[in-house]
């Protein structure tokens, strides 16, 4: 779903910084990804959460996770090389720190044994 607030804010961000078109952050065309944007780097690269992209696409297109993943990998991820030649292309965050902790923290981890 298109995120009008975000797009308006990004347009204002570019206007305030007087960014040339080639310096502006590139927003992925598929509006399903708008709510997957989690940040913006200092050099104007939008950061997208890959897991969220899949979820948003599944909701918008009413498809399975497998179908969404296949579509995103073929139609979006392959295009990133070309997009990055035009301007500050997006960065895809594959796993958030929460996801890494949830998936990889040893089952026998004890909170009081945490190193500082």
What's residue 52's pLDDT? 94
This prediction has a pTM of: 0.79
Comparing 99 with 92, which gets the higher pLDDT?
92
Q: pLDDT, tens digit, for every residue of 30-72?
A: 888 999 999 999 999 999 999 999 999 999 999 999 999 999 9
**Residue 113 — pLDDT band, cuts 50, 70, 90?**
low
Mean pLDDT rounded to a whole number for the chain: 88
- Would you say residue 114 has pLDDT above 60? no
Neighbours of 57 (CB within 10 A): 22
Neighbours of 25 (CB within 10 A): 20
């Amino acid at each position: 779903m298109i995120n009008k607030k975000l797009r308006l804010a990004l347009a204002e961000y570019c206007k305030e910084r007087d960014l040339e078109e080639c310096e502006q952050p590139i927003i992925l065309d598929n509006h399903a990804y708008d709510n997957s944007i989690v940040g913006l780097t200092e050099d104007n690269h939008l950061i997208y959460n890959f897991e969220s992209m899949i979820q948003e696409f599944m909701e918008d297109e009413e498809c399975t996770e497998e179908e969404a993943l296949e579509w995103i990998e073929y139609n979006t991820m392959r295009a990133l090389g070309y997009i990055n030649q035009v301007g500050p292309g997006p960065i895809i965050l594959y796993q958030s720190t929460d996801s890494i902790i949830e998936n990889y923290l040893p089952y026998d981890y004890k909170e009081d044994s945490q190193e500082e």
